C-alpha cells in the first residue's frame, strides 16, 4: 500500500502551476475555501469550522466527501468559477477506470439549464441516447451542422491565421498530428484519424473553435442615438445642430416640461 498523500482540491488551489494564480485576492475566497473543505471532507480551521456551522446549522463537519452540494448564491458570487474548478479537479485528478468499459471516456457535465447556455452541440454519436439524457436536465442537444471532417477543414485556416491558440495538451497535439487527409475518387477531401487511432479530444476542440469563429463573424446590432424633432424647438438630438451645450436627454426633459421626470407613451397628449 502506498503511503503517498492524496492530492486534494486545496492542494490544487494552492499549487502555483495549477489554480493558485487565479486567486489573486485570497481573502475574498475564504468562504469558498471553507466550502471546498466541507464538500470534500477535509480538515477545517477554527475559523472555517465556525463559518461552516453558521451556514449549515450543523455542529459536526463532514467525515465523508459529499455526493451533492446545494448552495444559495447571489449574482457575482463566484459560483461559476468555483463549479469550473471542481469539475476540472474531478476530471483531472480522479480515476474512473472501475466505472468505464474499455474504450469509454467519462465526461464531467456542467449544466446551467436556467441560463442561455442551456444548449450543447455535438455529433450523432449513440443516436438519440445523449439527446434524451440532456433533455432530462432541460438542456437542448443540437446536432452539429458540420461533420468532423468538415470541422477539421474549417479548423486549419483558423490555426494557420493565428486566430486560435491551442492548449499545451499532449493528447490534443498527438491527435491533431495523427490526422490524415485523403482524397476520394470523386475528388472530395476528407480528414480522419488513422485506423485504430482516436480523435475524440481534437474533434471537440475543432467543434468549439469553429463555433466560436462563426459566432465572432456574425454581425452585431448597432446602437444608434435617438432623434427627437419638435415643432417648436426644431432639432433636438446629439448632432452638430445641437449648439446649446446640453445633452439630448436634458433638452428632451426641458422641452417636454417634465422637470426631470419621465414621459411614457400613453401618459398624455403632447404637441411635438
Q: Where are the domains of the chain?
A: 1-98, 111-143, 147-217, 224-272
* pLDDT score of 225 more than 60: no
Sign of CA dihedral 110, 111, 115, 119: positive
Residues 135-157 pLDDT 10s: 887 788 888 889 989 999 999 99
Return the C-alpha cell found at 18.
Answer: 495549477
* pLDDT score of 25 more than 80: yes
State the pLDDT confidence band at 116, using cuts at 50, 70 and 90: low
Strands 179-183 and 189-193: antiparallel
Return the C-alpha cell found at 55.
Answer: 451556514
Decide which of 151 and 267 is more confident: 151
- Over residues 67-88, mean pLDDT: 84
pLDDT confidence of residue 1? 42
Q: How far is it, in rounded angstroms, from Cα 59 to Cα 161?
A: 58
Structural contact between residues 226 and 237, judged by C-beta atoms closer than 8 angstroms: yes
Residues 166-209 pLDDT 10s: 888 888 999 999 999 888 888 888 899 988 888 988 999 999 99
- Over residues 219-234, mean pLDDT: 53
Amino acid at each position: 500500500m502506498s503511503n503517498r498523500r492524496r492530492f486534494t482540491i486545496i492542494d490544487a488551489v494552492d499549487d502555483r502551476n495549477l489554480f493558485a494564480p487565479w486567486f489573486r485576492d485570497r481573502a475574498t475566497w475564504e468562504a469558498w475555501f471553507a466550502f471546498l473543505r466541507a464538500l470534500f471532507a477535509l480538515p477545517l480551521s477554527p475559523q472555517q469550522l465556525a463559518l461552516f456551522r453558521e451556514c449549515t446549522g450543523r455542529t459536526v463537519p463532514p467525515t465523508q466527501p459529499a455526493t451533492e452540494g446545494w448552495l444559495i448564491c447571489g449574482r457575482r458570487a463566484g459560483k461559476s468559477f468555483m463549479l469550473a474548478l471542481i469539475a476540472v479537479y474531478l476530471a483531472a485528478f480522479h480515476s474512473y477506470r472501475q466505472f468505464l468499459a474499455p474504450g469509454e471516456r467519462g465526461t464531467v457535465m456542467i449544466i446551467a439549464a436556467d441560463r442561455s447556455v442551456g444548449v450543447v452541440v455535438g455529433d450523432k454519436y449513440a443516436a438519440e441516447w445523449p439527446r434524451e439524457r440532456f433533455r432530462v436536465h432541460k438542456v437542448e442537444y443540437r446536432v452539429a451542422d458540420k461533420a468532423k471532417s468538415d470541422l477539421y477543414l474549417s479548423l486549419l485556416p483558423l490555426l494557420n491565421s493565428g486566430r486560435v491558440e491551442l492548449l499545451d495538451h499532449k493528447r490534443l497535439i498527438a491527435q491533431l498530428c495523427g490526422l490524415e487527409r485523403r482524397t476520394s475518387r470523386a475528388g472530395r477531401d476528407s480528414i480522419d484519424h488513422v485506423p485504430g487511432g482516436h480523435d475524440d479530444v481534437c474533434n471537440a476542440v475543432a467543434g468549439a473553435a469553429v463555433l466560436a469563429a462563426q459566432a465572432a463573424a456574425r454581425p452585431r446590432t448597432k446602437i444608434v442615438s435617438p432623434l427627437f424633432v419638435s415643432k417648436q424647438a426644431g432639432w433636438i438630438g446629439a448632432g452638430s445642430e445641437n449648439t446649446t451645450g446640453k445633452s439630448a436627454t436634458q433638452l428632451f426633459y426641458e422641452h417636454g416640461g417634465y422637470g426631470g421626470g419621465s414621459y411614457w407613451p400613453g401618459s398624455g397628449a403632447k404637441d411635438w
